[in-house]
């Protein structure tokens, strides 16, 4: 493994990204002495973790931005054959600790993570073998005021439901840009929570995800695609 230092400035981070654009996964992996998995089934986070290493992210799995001193979050973005995001994007775990005070949007993990994001799109068409898939050109992004306002509305609505014990009514359909879905190693993991009557119960941990519609809009706005 090469000695990888963390970039000191945004410009340095972006210039690293530009060198990666167009590279295949195979090239990228071998350059950094990593072995490409034969399948993503048992390596679902492979690309995200490889990019963290290559770009010198420092936060590991702490609930903080990947580039702590720059305040930048790294997100890989799998694209289908049409260049559209193939999946929703995981943001962070959702607080279901009903005893805790409802945190303000300004202090929420969602906002902190999405305040400044380095999107790294890459080919993820299932028809392309893993070693032939290429890295796209990265995009450093922040939400504009209108976007942040929608994200905030989504977040406040969903967070309120979590705190009211309305998990039974929580659907991935809710939210314009954000959605709530299970997020756990497996479905037998449960956390304490409350139901609508305020009674104790157990429920699966949830996480916030960004709809692919949302990430697609970001790509369109930046690359001016039709």
- Residues of the shown chain interacting with DNA in the complex, contacts defined by CB under 7 A: 40-45, 47-49, 51-52, 59-63, 66, 73-76, 78, 80, 82, 86-90, 92-93, 109, 124, 126, 171-173, 179, 181-189, 191, 204-205, 207, 211-213
- C-alpha dihedral (66, 132, 212, 172), degrees to nearest 10: -90
Q: List 192's β-bridge partners, or say none.
A: 202
Enclosing H/E stretch for 12:
helix 10-20
Our CB check for DNA shows the closer of 145 and 226 to be 226
- Round the CA-based radius of gyration of the chain to a whole number and report it: 18
Our CB check for DNA shows the closer of 44 and 145 to be 44
113 contacts 142 by C-beta, under 8 angstroms: no
Our CB check for DNA shows the closer of 30 and 68 to be 68
Q: How far are the Cα atoms of 22, 101, 142, 176 from residue 226, in angstroms, in the given order?
A: 22, 44, 22, 22
Our CB check for DNA shows the closer of 145 and 191 to be 191
Phi–psi pair at 145, nearest 5 degrees: -55, -40
Apex CA 145: angle with CA 144 and CA 148, to 5°? 85
Residue 53 CB, shortest distance to DNA, in Å, is 10
Residue 106: other Cβ atoms inside 10 A:
8
Residue 97 CB, shortest distance to DNA, in Å, is 8
Enclosing H/E stretch for 199:
none
Going by the DSSP 8-state scheme, the letter that residue 68 receives in this structure is T
Residue 190 CB, shortest distance to DNA, in Å, is 8
Six-digit token pair at 143?
């939400």
Our CB check for DNA shows the closer of 62 and 104 to be 62
Residue 44 CB, shortest distance to DNA, in Å, is 4
Residue 65 CB, shortest distance to DNA, in Å, is 8
Residue 173 CB, shortest distance to DNA, in Å, is 4
Our CB check for DNA shows the closer of 24 and 212 to be 212
Enclosing H/E stretch for 149:
helix 145-163
């Amino acid at each position: 493994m090469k000695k990888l230092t963390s970039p000191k400035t945004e410009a340095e981070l972006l210039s690293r990204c530009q060198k990666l654009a167009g590279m295949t996964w195979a090239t990228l992996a071998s350059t950094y002495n990593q072995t490409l998995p034969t399948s993503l089934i048992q390596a679902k986070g492979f690309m995200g973790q490889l990019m963290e290493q290559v770009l010198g992210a420092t936060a590991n799995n702490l609930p903080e931005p990947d580039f702590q001193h720059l305040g930048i979050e790294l997100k890989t973005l799998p694209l289908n054959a049409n260049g559209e995001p193939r999946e929703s994007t995981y943001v962070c775990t959702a607080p279901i600790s009903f005893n805790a005070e409802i945190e303000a949007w300004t202090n929420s993990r969602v906002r902190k993570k999405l305040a400044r994001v380095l999107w790294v799109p890459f080919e993820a068409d299932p028809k392309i073998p893993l070693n032939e898939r290429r890295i796209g050109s990265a995009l450093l992004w922040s939400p504009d005021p209108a976007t942040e306002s929608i994200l905030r509305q989504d977040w406040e609505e969903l967070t309120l439901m979590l705190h009211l014990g309305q998990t039974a009514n929580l659907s991935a359909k809710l939210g314009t840009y954000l959605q709530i879905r299970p997020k756990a190693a497996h479905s037998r993991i449960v956390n304490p929570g409350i139901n609508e009557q305020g009674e104790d119960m157990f429920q699966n941990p949830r996480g916030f995800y960004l709809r692919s519609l949302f990430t697609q809009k970001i790509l369109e706005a930046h690359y001016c695609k039709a």
